[in-house]
Copies of this chain bind each other. A is one copy, B any other.
Amino acid sequence: MKTVIAALALALTWAVAPLALAQTAPPLPAAMATELVAANRILVNQGVIDVRGHVSVRDPVNPNYFWITRAIAPGLATVADLQAFDLDGKQVGGVSGEAYTERFIHARIFKARPDVNSVVHAHTPSLITFSVSDIPLRPVTTAGLFAGDGVPIHANGLVGEGIHDMPVGDSLAAKLGGKVAVLMRGHGAVIVGQTVRTAVGRAIGLDLNAREQINLFSMPGKIDYLVPPPGAGKASGNYDREWSWWMHQLDSH
């Protein structure tokens, strides 16, 4: 928490500083910038992303722009690290510096899914497990109900390569379709939401569901899967109480 607040203070300084690269996007509002930084750190702290995952948010004014940190370890993110891109993955604002080559994941999903305002890309071990198995990831806990419409698997070649250009980004977005998550074969997963908190909460919930499902398979007997009605992922989840706890854990870590 202290780190996040310090990062915010730093952000306010940065907000008035001239930037080296030509910009067209006005800065992300400070509250949203702080929330995006917190999302990065929470996902790391909860074990969902590691040093190569990322989370983005759609610009609240221009829906063709989105914000994400520059290519750093997300556990080190501050609001001074944010960059803005358009839906073709071209930088339109924020700090200069190396950009994530996988920003096309975010760009093309924001393009294809106007209802989505936040995208998480993670290499969570439990989700990679399901990405190379023919056992489907299915809800076994209320924390994973939102995935009731299924979690498809996108394969990028033979080696679980990342998404480094627009065509493969479009392919991934097509595989995601109207669902809330897509697995990436041998690589990771993408989870989307109407808000940053929803995307983060779902990423944490999907990992939990996957781990419980792996436990279930280590036992004999029949799994009594939950059967949510179609469209379980349409409504935005409320993760405010979780957020207060995850922020506290950041602080006491």
Give chain A's interface residues, CB within 8 Å of chain B: 50-52, 71-73, 75-76, 123, 125-126, 128-129, 132-135, 139-143, 145, 148, 158-162, 185-187, 208, 211-212, 214-229, 232, 241-242, 244-245, 248-249, 252-253
Contact = CB atoms under 8 A, between A and B. Distances in A.
Contacts of A158: 226-228
A241 B49 CA distance: 14
B221 A218 contact: no
Nearest to A129: B215
Contacts of A126: 215
Contacts of A208: 125
26 contacts: A50-B245, A51-B241, A51-B242, A51-B245, A73-B245, A75-B248, A123-B142, A125-B141, A125-B208, A125-B212, A128-B212, A129-B215, A132-B141, A132-B216, A132-B223, A132-B224, A133-B216, A133-B219, A133-B222, A133-B223, A135-B220, A142-B186, A158-B227, A185-B224, A186-B224, A214-B219
Contacts of A143: 123
Contact of A218 (B145, B185, B214, B225): B214
A51 to B, nearest CB: 4
Contact of A160 (B145, B162, B221, B252): B145
A159 B224 contact: no
A212 B73 CA distance: 22
Contacts of A252: 253
A128 B226 CA distance: 12
A45 to B, nearest CB: 11
Given A52-B242, A133-B221, A217-B220, 7 more contacts: A51-B241, A51-B245, A129-B216, A158-B228, A159-B228, A159-B232, A214-B218
Contacts of A76: 244-245, 248
Contact of A142 (B71, B145, B161, B244): B161
Nearest to A73: B245
Nearest 10 pairs between A and B by C-beta? A73-B245, A217-B219, A135-B221, A218-B218, A158-B227, A51-B245, A186-B226, A132-B224, A134-B221, A142-B160
